[in-house]
Homo-oligomer: A and B are copies of this chain.
Amino acid sequence: MASKDRILRLKEETRCNILDASLKIVKEGGWDALSMRKIADEIEYTAPIIYEYYSNKGAILLELTRKGFLLLAKDLETAKSKHRLPAKQLEAMWLAYWNFAFAEKELYQVMYGVETSCCEMAKKMPESEMPMDLIWDVIVELMLPHVGTEDEVCIKYYTFWSVIHGLISINMVNRGNTPETNQEVLKTAISGIIRSITG
């Protein structure tokens, strides 16, 4: 029976539609807006139908995560293919990584656990600037006798912060490293940036 095939094809399509609908909802209203009933609305079914295609909400997120990794890998490969020197390839790949993160913001968030709902909160809270202020001052001192411009200090501060916050996030979310590797990355990064300041 060819109708079996047609039905299977339709099922595969709905499975895909669920994913597309989910991503659409998230892009429009953020991750909090994503609910089974809204997905159902979007694909013009009722909520329980979704469970015929995904065992639960987590499975949908998992599939979006997989989709994200595949897309990112593809971007990295095309970036690499545009150069021959490894140094140029590496630079292009990390720029592609950067671009992916913002082009597919929602996917990147679910892939690496970047929560944005808290961002409204921490803003407008004066205490949130205390750590930066404290470290800022020391960077300025370290630069002496050269008096660094706002931009110069800013770049140094964010380089520090990025590498350390990045390493923390990766370890919290992904639990990937041995303590030794972490310490090594951390210490060499810090001393490297310090050297780049003191010259």
A161 lies within 8 A of chain B by Cβ = yes
A90 lies within 8 A of chain B by Cβ = yes
Judge whether B165 and A115 touch: CB under 8 Å.
no
Copies in the complex: 2
Count class of interface residues, chain A: 35 or more
Question: Would you call the interface of chain A mostly helix, strand, loop, or mixed?
Answer: helix
A181 lies within 8 A of chain B by Cβ = yes
CA distance A65 to B170 in the complex (A): 21
Candidates B89, B116, B170; contact of A161 at CB < 8 Å = B170
Which of A76, A127, A151, A165 has the largest count of B CB atoms less than 10 A from its CB?
Answer: A165
Candidates B69, B138, B160; contact of A131 at CB < 8 Å = B69
CA distance A119 to B142 in the complex (A): 38
A133 smallest CB distance to B (angstroms): 8
A175 lies within 8 A of chain B by Cβ = yes
A94 lies within 8 A of chain B by Cβ = yes
Judge whether A66 and B165 touch: CB under 8 Å.
no
A113 lies within 8 A of chain B by Cβ = yes
Which of A101, A154, A169, A192 has the largest count of B CB atoms less than 10 A from its CB?
Answer: A169
Q: Known contacts A114-B113, A159-B188; is A73 also within 8 Å of B127 by CB?
A: yes
Judge whether A185 and B162 touch: CB under 8 Å.
yes
- In the complex, given contacts A76-B134, A86-B144, A162-B166, what are 5 additional A-B residue pairs having Cβ atoms less than 8 angstroms apart? A58-B121, A69-B125, A69-B131, A72-B131, A114-B172
Q: Could you tell me which A residues sit within 8 Å of B by CB distance?
A: 58, 61-62, 65-66, 69-70, 72-73, 76-77, 80, 86-87, 89-91, 93-95, 97-98, 101-102, 105, 108-119, 121-123, 125, 127-128, 130-131, 134-135, 138-139, 141-142, 144, 151, 154-155, 158-177, 181, 184-186, 188-192, 194, 196, 198
**14 sampled A-B residue pairs with Cβ under 8 A:** A62-B121, A73-B131, A73-B134, A90-B160, A93-B138, A94-B164, A98-B167, A102-B171, A109-B115, A116-B173, A119-B174, A119-B175, A154-B181, A155-B184
